[in-house]
């Protein structure tokens, strides 16, 4: 079942991953740390390793036209989302001692819920949503513009529109 998207072979993926520099490793670790929030029983290294395992096993196909950081970020986002859903299920009795501080879980759950509601409010604005995702992933303005295919002026306009939308939707007394 081909949808017309060219994907990299496992050998090509392995070759690209073997060429990563120290800066690339640090960036991927930072992305993992950003996506792991809301998963109190998991660690960023576990998330990154799971993403790499799925990519190298062929479970996640890598589109040839998608950059490495963007692709792995989305794989980690997907895995972290799956883990959050699993963690929200009722804990088994033997797992109850793993969770000690309910306030941390509530805070993380509230933040995760807020992020999802913010994403939903920007669903009609792909550039605004893309900018929000990159802000959450802490990527550079240059990378955002390159991935979204927009120039500096379009970026500034979309960012202001995103802020305005979020301000209107979630105004708890914010001041701009």
pLDDT digits (tens, 9 = 90+) for 40-59: 788 888 998 898 888 888 88
| Domain residue ranges of the chain, discontinuous segments joined by + | 1-88, 102-171
The SS3 of residue 63 is strand
> Which has the closest alpha carbon to 75: 124, 15, 32, 14?
32
The pLDDT mean for the chain works out to 79
> Which has the closest alpha carbon to 146: 70, 35, 46?
70
| Digit-coded pLDDT (tens) for 108-163 | 456 677 788 888 889 999 999 998 888 888 888 888 889 889 999 999 999 999 88
> Can you give the pTM of this predicted structure?
0.49
């Amino acid at each position: 079942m081909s949808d017309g998207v060219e994907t990299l072979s496992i050998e090509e993926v392995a070759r690209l991953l073997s060429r990563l520099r120290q800066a690339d490793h640090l960036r991927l670790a930072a992305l993992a740390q950003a996506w792991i929030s809301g998963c109190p029983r998991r660690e960023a290294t576990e998330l990154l390793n799971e993403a790499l395992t799925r990519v190298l096993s062929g479970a996640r196909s890598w589109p040839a036209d998608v950059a490495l950081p963007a692709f792995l970020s989305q794989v980690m986002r997907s895995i972290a989302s799956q883990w959050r859903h699993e963690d929200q299920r009722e804990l088994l009795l033997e797992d109850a001692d793993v969770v000690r501080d309910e306030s941390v879980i509530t805070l993380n759950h509230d933040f995760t819920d807020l992020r999802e509601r913010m994403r939903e409010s920007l669903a009609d604005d792909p550039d605004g949503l893309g900018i929000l995702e990159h802000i959450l992933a802490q990527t550079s303005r240059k990378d955002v513009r390159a991935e979204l295919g927009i120039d500096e002026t379009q970026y500034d306009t979309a960012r202001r529109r995103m802020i305005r939308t979020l301000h209107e939707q979630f105004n708890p007394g914010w001041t701009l």
